[in-house]
């Protein structure tokens, strides 16, 4: 059975998409405010130890306009990975790949997904809600936090991201958006520490990112 809430969301999306197509509102890609190449290599106790780039074929497939793939390490040797992908016009120049669809595979599966409140926000907000996943491969675990930082909002849900995408295309002629994912390896089944470290790291990343991304007004 499909939850009633999801059916309503899909219907709203279909109605909004039809309206956009009928009115043919022009969508102009919005450039990123500041290139991600200058994103901090030190975040709190975490220091950059590795960076990587997607292949040209992956970049072309995703249609991403700017991206970052950094691996950070703390003094205790723990690892956190950060991915940021910016799109000037989601659905026009490219689109997201949700972790719900991308992570399963290669032995990894999703054990749980739940909302998580962070003590950080943007545009004057002091808190925000993101998604937290627990993923597992045999007896190996990772905590995954992700969200969409789009047009002055923090959005945890893929469904609401799509709704706001349609609404903002109608109201502002904008579809720019950013996908953020943070992954923390669980060591010794210490889930509490891994979650706390990922949470604190995410709060700092969110605050930094506000300097890089277009907000509610541009």
147-191 pLDDT tens trace: 999 999 999 988 899 889 888 888 888 999 999 999 999 988 899
Phi and psi at residue 156, to the nearest 5°: -90, -30
Strands 140-150 and 42-43: unpaired
pLDDT reported for residue 215: 92
- Considering the chain, what is the average pLDDT of its residues? 87
pLDDT digit string, tens, across residues 120-144: 999 999 999 999 999 999 999 999 9
Q: By mean pLDDT, which of 169-173, 193-197, 206-210 is the weakest? A: 169-173
pLDDT reported for residue 19: 57
pLDDT digit string, tens, across residues 15-40: 665 555 445 557 788 999 999 999 99
Q: Are 40 and 208 in contact (CB under 8 A)?
A: yes
Predicted TM-score (pTM) of the model is: 0.86
pLDDT digit string, tens, across residues 61-112: 677 899 999 999 999 999 999 999 999 999 887 777 777 776 766 678 889 9
- DSSP class per residue in 7-66: HHHHHHHHHHHHHHHHHT---PPPPPSS-GGGS-SEETTEEEEEE----HHHHHHHT-SE
Q: Are 182 and 197 in contact (CB under 8 A)?
A: no
| 176 C-beta neighbours (distance < 10 Å), count | 26
Question: Which SS3 state, helix, strand or coil, does residue 197 take?
Answer: helix
**CA atoms of 19 and 23, how far apart (whole Å):** 6
Give the residue with greater pLDDT, 196 vs 4: 196
Question: In the beta sheet, which residues pair with residue 69?
Answer: 83
Asked whether residue 57 carries a pLDDT value surpassing 80, the answer given is no
Question: In the beta sheet, which residues pair with residue 42?
Answer: 47
Q: What angle do CA 58, 64, 70 make, to 5 degrees?
A: 80
Asked whether residue 117 carries a pLDDT value surpassing 80, the answer given is yes
Strands 177-185 and 79-87: antiparallel
pLDDT reported for residue 21: 47
**Burial tier of 50 (Cβ tally within 10 Å: 0-12, 13-18, 19+):** exposed
pLDDT reported for residue 52: 85
Residue 94 CA from chain centroid, whole number: 15
Give the residue with greater pLDDT, 9 vs 46: 46
pLDDT reported for residue 54: 73
pLDDT reported for residue 18: 54
Q: Are 202 and 130 in contact (CB under 8 A)?
A: yes
Q: Are 175 and 165 in contact (CB under 8 A)?
A: yes
């Amino acid at each position: 059975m499909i939850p009633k809430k999801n059916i309503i969301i899909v219907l709203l999306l279909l109605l909004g998409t039809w309206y956009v197509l009928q009115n043919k509102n022009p969508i102009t890609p919005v450039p990123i405010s500041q290139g991600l190449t200058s994103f901090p290599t030190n975040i709190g106790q975490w220091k950059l130890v590795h960076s990587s780039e997607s292949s040209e074929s992956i970049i072309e497939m995703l249609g991403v306009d700017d991206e970052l793939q950094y691996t950070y390490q703390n003094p205790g040797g723990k690892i956190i990975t950060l991915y940021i992908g910016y799109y000037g016009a989601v659905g026009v120049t490219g689109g997201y790949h949700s972790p719900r669809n991308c992570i399963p595979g290669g032995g990894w599966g999703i054990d749980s997904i739940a909302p998580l409140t962070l003590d950080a926000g943007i545009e004057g907000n002091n808190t925000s809600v993101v998604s937290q996943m627990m993923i597992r491969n045999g007896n190996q675990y990772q905590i995954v936090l992700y969200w969409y930082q789009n047009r002055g909002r923090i959005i945890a849900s893929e469904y609401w991201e799509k709704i706001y995408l349609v609404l903002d295309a109608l109201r502002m002629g904008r579809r720019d958006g950013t996908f953020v994912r943070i992954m923390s390896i669980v060591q010794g089944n210490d889930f509490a520490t891994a979650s706390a470290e990922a949470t604190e790291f995410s709060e700092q990343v969110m605050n930094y990112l506000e300097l890089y991304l277009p907000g509610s007004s541009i």
